[in-house]
């Protein structure tokens, strides 16, 4: 149904009355007695480090793996660390290429560079805002060592064609599910489809421990490797007390306090995701028919769990651009964001100039000149368009019909009154 027709004839930005008297409520993730009860277990045991005899990291890994129906889980310090564990388990040759999406946090890119690999970026589909499988296919080379689809904003990438391309070329797939817990993709969840599913527990995510992450896989080879990689290559203490280092790794292991909170948060997760899906889908219903207002497309047989509500304001249709829409919505006391990361991630100066370590150009210097990747405007034209038109609206699981209707009313008012 369309939003209510408002009688307002003047935008708040121009001195009219705003749709809302106060900004939308944005409460933090729910946290309380269940988390405290788990933390007391750690304090009572007096052990906050899993390597010193802690039990809750093991428990969280087992429960999360069971929740997702996957064989192996490894808890880590962040969502960035979760991707790093997957790449560390694969152990690609230095100078290999890893294809990912250009609309993402730099946390997706850091592990690629840390493993001395070259980030390559596949363009997005304009409507879904996620990786375009056709563009992915044209980026595959003999040097491609992994693919990292980023499920943007809570909506799954089109994983069936992505997996078909990966399988045809013998390339492992690492799903970046940092914004996308429990989203349905044609009978499965995001995180259950690729060779790895990686998740973030950062403060804003669907479940949180402040920081943290976890990596899932069904591989009996890669699962133990990820665990070993998370703790310095897993040094082994022998009977004589000597310490032996059998491989390379980082120190990325979760601590017991973080695991305690995560265990409690896992119980809340299904309800949070269901409420986010309900509220985001309802907002789409309330704004249907608004000229130039294009919500992120949800694929058939899929659900969006709305880490944010993503949409595009198409200027030629709406009569305003995304920046004007954003400014007007903020004046109506509806918080939103504009342009998300602003430009494709590879156009930020340090990446565009291939500078990550000191004054050199490692790992790009490992490439033969004829294979050098390009980080230039026009490389991902759909991405540039999406970011130019993109608006993000926070959708909270605690909101009811009033908050959603206010957002829809504000959007209708702005598009009706703010055109040039």
Span 138-160, average pLDDT = 98
SS3 398: coil
| pLDDT score for 325 | 98
| pLDDT score for 1 | 42
| pLDDT score for 236 | 74
CA distances from residue 94 to 234, 362, 402 in whole angstroms, order as listed: 22, 10, 54
In the predicted model, what is the mean pLDDT of the chain? 95
pLDDT greater than 80 at residue 313: yes
Given a contact cutoff of 8 angstroms between Cβ atoms, the answer to whether 297 and 285 are in contact is no
pLDDT greater than 50 at residue 358: yes
Which residue has better confidence, 52 or 70?
A: 70
| pLDDT score for 244 | 83
Read off the pLDDT of residues 315-332 as tens digits, 9 standing for 90 and up. Answer: 999 999 999 999 999 999
Read off the pLDDT of residues 383-408 as tens digits, 9 standing for 90 and up. Answer: 999 999 999 999 999 999 999 999 99
Q: What percent of the chain lies above the pLDDT cut of 90?
A: 92
Domain ranges of the chain: 33-267
pLDDT-derived band at 225, boundaries 50, 70, 90: very high
| pLDDT score for 181 | 98
Domain at 33-267: CATH architecture:
3-Layer(aba) Sandwich (3.40)
pLDDT-derived band at 9, boundaries 50, 70, 90: confident
Report pTM.
0.96
pLDDT greater than 90 at residue 128: yes
| pLDDT score for 235 | 78
- 283 vs 278: CA distance, rounded Å: 9
- 348 vs 343: CA distance, rounded Å: 8
pLDDT greater than 70 at residue 272: yes
Q: Choose among 119, 129, 125: nearest CA to 174.
A: 119
Span 65-90, average pLDDT = 98
Indicate left, alpha or beta for 232 from its phi (over 0: left) and psi (-120 to 50: alpha): left
Beta strands in 298-389 (DSSP E): 309-313, 337-338
Span 366-378, average pLDDT = 96
90, 91, 96, 99: CA torsion to nearest 10: 30
Q: What is the 3-state secondary structure (H, E, C) of 94-138?
A: CCCEEEECCCCCHHHCHHHHHCCCEEEECCECCCCCCECHHHHHH
Mean pLDDT is lowest, of 62-66, 241-245, 255-259, for: 241-245
pLDDT-derived band at 7, boundaries 50, 70, 90: low
Span 125-151, average pLDDT = 98
349, 352, 353, 354: CA torsion to nearest 10: 120
- Could you tell me which residues come within 8 angstroms of residue 9 by beta carbon, excluding any fewer than 6 positions away? 16, 417
- 162 vs 149: CA distance, rounded Å: 8
Span 244-268, average pLDDT = 95
């Amino acid at each position: 149904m369309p939003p209510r027709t408002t009688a307002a004839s003047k935008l708040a930005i121009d001195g009219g009355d705003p749709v809302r008297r106060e900004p939308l409520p944005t409460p933090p993730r729910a946290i309380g007695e269940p988390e405290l009860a788990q933390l007391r277990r750690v304090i009572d045991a007096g052990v906050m480090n899993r390597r010193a005899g802690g039990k809750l990291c093991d428990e969280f890994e087992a429960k999360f793996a069971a929740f997702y129906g996957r064989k192996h889980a490894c808890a880590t310090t962040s969502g960035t660390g979760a991707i790093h564990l997957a790449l560390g388990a694969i152990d690609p040759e230095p100078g290999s290429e890893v294809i990912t999406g250009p609309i993402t946090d730099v946390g997706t890119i850091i592990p690629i560079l840390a493993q001395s690999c070259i980030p390559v970026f596949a363009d997005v589909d304009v409507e879904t805002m996620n990786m375009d499988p056709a563009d992915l296919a044209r980026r595959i080379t003999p040097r491609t060592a992994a693919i990292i689809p980023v499920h943007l904003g809570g909506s799954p990438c089109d994983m069936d064609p992505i997996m078909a391309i990966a399988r045809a070329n013998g390339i492992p797939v690492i799903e970046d599910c940092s914004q996308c817990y429990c989203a349905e993709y044609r009978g499965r969840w995001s995180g259950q489809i690729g060779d790895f599913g990686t998740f973030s527990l950062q403060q804003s995510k669907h479940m949180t421990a402040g920081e943290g992450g976890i990596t899932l896989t069904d591989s009996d080879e890669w699962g133990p490797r990820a665990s070993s990689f998370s703790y310095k290559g897993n040094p082994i203490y022998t009977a004589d007390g000597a310490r032996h280092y059998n491989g390379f790794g980082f120190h990325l292991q979760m601590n017991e306090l973080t695991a305690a909170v995560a265990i409690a948060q896992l119980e809340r997760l299904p309800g949070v995701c269901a409420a986010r899906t309900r509220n985001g889908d309802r907002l789409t219903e309330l704004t249907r028919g608004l000229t130039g207002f294009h919500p992120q497309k949800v694929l058939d047989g899929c659900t969006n769990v709305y880490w944010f509500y993503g949409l595009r304001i198409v200027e030629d249709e709406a009569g305003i651009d995304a920046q004007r829409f954003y400014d007007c919505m903020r004046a109506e006391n509806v918080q939103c964001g504009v342009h998300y990361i602003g430009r494709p991630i590879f156009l930020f100066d340090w990446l565009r100039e291939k500078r990550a370590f000191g004054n050199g150009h490692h790992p790009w210097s490992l490439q033969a000149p004829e294979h050098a990747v390009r980080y230039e405007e026009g490389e991902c034209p759909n991405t540039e368009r999406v970011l130019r038109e993109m608006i993000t609206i926070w959708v909270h699981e605690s909101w009811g019909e009033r908050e959603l209707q206010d957002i829809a009313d504000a959007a209708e008012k702005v598009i009706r009154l703010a055109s040039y």
